[in-house]
Structure 1
Amino acid sequence: MNLEYRQVTEISEDDYKLLLDADPYKEIVDSYISRSTVFEVSNVDKLVGIVAMLPTRPETLEIVNIAVAPEQQNLGIGTLILQKMITSAKAAGYSTLEIGTGSNSYQQLHVYQKVGFRMNWIDHDFFVKNYPQKIIDKYLTFDGFVLRDMVRLTMKLK
């Protein structure tokens, strides 16, 4: 698969569709996206993913949003995007790369750990405190599972 990465400064409607799949509130996405470096990811001129990265502390970069188009999921695209961002962060001189996800985001947790991220800490009640409405996991709807905690993962690059 030959993915192409293009840095964008204007977020299109198609970009928002992907960003909001990973983070469901536009106001929250807007709060960090304007400070982030955003890359559209395409395969044969078709938008298949997006990633936003934000410097948070000296020598630390956080992937604040990463999404793959629903019809392109489970093809390894997310792993390829992560590997590219790891390589880019190293080349830019960062010593730490961070990412966070919902405590019940099992597939994302698997992929993040597979590429080398390690669980670092749990931000208890992150989603309850920071989001205007409860987030009900779309994959765990059998019991109306409410997303509460964010798992924070880190990777040392140096």
Structure 2
Amino acid sequence: MTLNYTQTRLLEKEEQIPYELLLLADETIEIIDSYVKGGEIYVFEHNSQIIGVYILYILDAKAIEIKNIAVHKDYQGLGIGTHLLNEATQRAKEKGFKTLVIGTANGAIKQLYLYQKVGFEITGIRKNFFVDNYPAPIYENGILCKHMIMLEKQL
């Protein structure tokens, strides 16, 4: 399948938030709502359907975070996630930020691999993040997600 990698755009304010995709990377709408309103939502479209999304959220004058990044299950493994990460990096640079931050669960093996592959480095662990902030246990790859692994990329 050939995909056009120029189809990412900022979601307009009047458009519906693509919760079905965001829920692939975060467990509850309440948690998503805690950061979606303060961030910029970028969507990747194919055949007029949103199949990828990421949210950039300003942390301070020098750092911006990818709060959520997801690709529709039918389109995973095609390089879209790598494209979105590279695009988010470029956008953060263009906005003048020095550091791009991303976090993922301790059981998110594929994500940890991908993030490091595109230049992120592990910088810390938020102990018990998922236990303290989510109503039900989360498992990925058979591993209880307890801790948030934080990664950064210098721009």
TM-score, normalising length from structure 2?
Answer: 0.92
Give the count of matched residue pairs. Answer: 151
Instruction: Specify the alignment match of 1:127 in structure 2.
Output: 130
Conserved? CA contact 2:40–2:57, under 8 Å = yes
Counterpart AA for 1:82:
L
Identity of aligned residues (%): 36
Q: Which runs of 5+ in 1 are unaligned?
A: none
- The alpha carbon displacement at 1:17 in A equals 0.3
Deviation at 1:48, TM superposition (A): 1.4
Please point out which of 7, 21, 24 is paired with 2:24: 21
Kindly provide the amino acid, as one letter, of the partner of residue 30 in structure 2.
E
Corresponding residue for 2:65?
62
Identify the match of residue 98 of structure 2 among 95, 103, 106.
Answer: 95
After superposing on structure 2, the runs of 4+ consecutive aligned residues of structure 1 that deviate more than 6 Å are none
Q: How far, CA to CA, are the matches of 2:53 and 2:14 in structure 1?
A: 13
1:1-158 aligned at under 5 Å gives the runs: 1-3=3-5, 4-8=7-11, 9-10=13-14, 12=16, 15-137=18-140, 139-140=141-142, 145-157=143-155
Show CA shifts across 1:41-69 (max 9, x none): 11232221000010012210000000000
CA RMSD of aligned residues (A): 1.3
CA distance in structure 1 between the aligned counterparts of 2:112 and 2:138, rounded to whole angstroms: 18
The SS at the match of 2:100 is: strand
The range that moved more, 60-69 or 45-54, is 45-54
SS of match in other structure, 1:110: helix
Q: Do the aligned residues in 1 keep the contact of 2:107 with 2:144 (CA within 8 Å)?
A: no
Change (3 A) 1:10 1:105: farther
Amino acid at match of 1:104: G
Distance in 1 of aligned mates of 2:15 and 2:135 = 23
Structure 1 length normalisation: TM-score?
Answer: 0.91
